[in-house]
Amino acid sequence: MWILFILKSLKVLCGIGWNIKGIENIPKTPFVMAANHQSPWESFFLQTLFIPTSSIMKREILIIPFFGWAISRLKPISINRKLKIESLKRVIVDGGQRIREGYAVLVFPEGTRKSPEDGIGRFGNSCGVLASNEAVPIIPICHNSGKYWVNKSFKKNSGDINIVIGKPIIGSDPKKLTEEARSWIEKAYSEIN
């Protein structure tokens, strides 16, 4: 409810709406959601596509008074991005547990937010490893939110964010799954941008 309140407030106050294609590709059972990362907007919005969803986020976010405490109730997977191997292990172990508990797991494989003009960055393998270990699909998601909610800025541009949800990607080879998700997102981004 809180996330929907934020999104609707942005729509009314800042004129940021959204168009979504491919919603029928969201499964009714747990999966790994892999999306490009440009702004805080998708961190909120993507959690509304499947309930419950567990997000991977920086540990520091959870200590922010009120906001971080509220986010912690959504059972995120907190990581220390400086410790890459430890973080990957945590995503695999905790993410697997969340999937077995019925959650979708939201992964931003680029790791950090990218500027819209930079396109799609390199992907870490966590989405592929998690999906292959748990025998669940990756659902690739592409958007252009950074054009409207400018990262690291108070600036908001009115307009409609385009979101495209791809068909499930299934397989047992983590690197191939990750590369297939990245290729799909890169192609979709070139079409919506």
- Integer CA distances (angstroms), 87 to 30, 97, 107, 145, 152, in order: 21, 15, 12, 26, 24
Least confident range from 81-85, 117-121, 188-192: namely: 81-85
pLDDT tens digits for range 98-152: 999 999 999 999 988 899 999 999 999 999 999 999 999 999 999 999 999 888 7
Which residues, 6 or more positions from 24, have their beta carbon under 8 angstroms from its beta carbon?
A: none
Q: Which CATH superfamily is domain 19-192 in?
A: Glycerol-3-phosphate (1)-acyltransferase (3.40.1130.10)
Mean pLDDT of 4-10: 84
Model pTM score = 0.89
